Structure 1
Amino acid sequence: MAEIVSLRQARKQKARADKERIAEQNRALHGRSKAEKARDVEAARKSQDFVEGHRRERPAGDGDA
């Protein structure tokens, strides 16, 4: 026979799991030191500069005219 499941308890358990998943993401995002955040910002800037430097055509309005 099938196991009887309380839907109320199942919903509460799912809500707890969702909250824990969101909390884990927030800990990873906000639980970093200032140096780690600065390092990530610098890496993103370097990556963007690299891509921009290898474009064939410059976007209009760049001010390099």
Structure 2
Amino acid sequence: MSNVVNLNHFRKTKARKEQKQRAEENVAKHGRTKAERQAEAEAAERATRLLEDHRRETDESAEE
């Protein structure tokens, strides 16, 4: 005798597997989490600010 299969359960399980596979492909394609992107943006901003803070101010009228 064969086993009884609940088709709704089968359909939902199949959809979950496909969604999980799609999610893994997107992670591989796009890579970083939101926290990683924010951390990188903050590091770039900090580096820019540090560079600007160490820039020498020149008097344009004295150069002429």
More helix by share: 2
Question: Over alpha carbons, which structure has the higher Rg?
Answer: 2
Instruction: Give the TM-score taking structure 2 as reference length.
Output: 0.48
TM-score normalized with structure 1 length: 0.47
